[in-house]
Structure 1
């Protein structure tokens, strides 16, 4: 795909080396954007995404970062601007998936989940707003679990992903006068290494969707690309469910 809707733009995707994040990074590059993305440890996957972006004729920048570090999100923004020259689109994709019985999820787990899933998107958006020109785009990746927690053990994860709705609405008001839109995407079950469509609980999970299947990462990436593009310029403060009817 080469639609060229992002020609001249630069994007930053956190957690962009695998799964949904990788699909988003490649989709934005296919639309003409130069793309920076963060990864934590998987250098092999980061190198593959870098090559995919380069093969599309776009500049790629892989940034090793741990988003539990309060300096990591803003640091990734600053490095993107320094090395790629500008920043137009931020996709807060990186997330900590901490699930389990309440008695196993204490202060340490709470602090880590909030740091990665809430603080990092806030700090990334805050830093990006200093560099974005009017008309920028900020998109966060939430979760269908924020709308419907069908299994026990998801309290902490649902809490942090639900917090992104408030972040999205507040940022939309703060940045709206500059034409910067801020939106949230809630993916449903998506076929990734972390939640494969042939995993041990996949049959039950599929059964909770109206469509009876998992999404491909590219399907979520297309929703993100629409929100990042010119056609969605009047959409802000919104939560978009790309969940196959999970919350229907």
Structure 2
């Protein structure tokens, strides 16, 4: 508690305290666009005094959303809706951050209060993609194994979304590499059974994430910081473990 309310300087970003609001999905967007719900939700936390706010998982492609209610930043028109949020956060002395994400095989799900199961058909469903064609749950759609060209497209999408995020006023860009979503699907031997340069060895399984980091690092000046979120362990034999996390870091 001694340092909780002490300011912190990272690069040229001043954090007024050490309290950070973690990203928590609201599942309340329409076609990826932020609305009044998001504005009030984040404004309330900023007014409450939190030092840093990391916005919920925001999809870099429409098919990268967990649900049809997820926020997105895959097109320029979405910038203005988010800039309104970052402006208020900054005006209250907090640092605005955003978590950029792709759900991979865990995409195309219904809203949590409708059960959250993966949708098999309908206007709110879409094809899912992963490192390998292995569904997350029994009964889920079989994800399509990403080709090298499709992987490159997603790396580009993370970069383009980061450019938009900076334009929208975010100071922290967090890459979502945790919780079983697409990047984690490449990291874990349990979900990555590829035999090309993106599978097998530790170096190959981390290649996708490191390519994203390398691209986004070039956008970071003294007023912007790049963060990466990972799951430290799969807690399952043969999966990603603590030693892997330390080695990656």
Q: TM-score, normalised by structure 1?
A: 0.44
**Higher relative contact order (CA closer than 8 Å, sequence separation 6+):** 1
> Which structure has the bigger radius of gyration?
2
Normalized per residue, the structure richer in helix is 1
Q: TM-score, normalised by structure 2?
A: 0.43
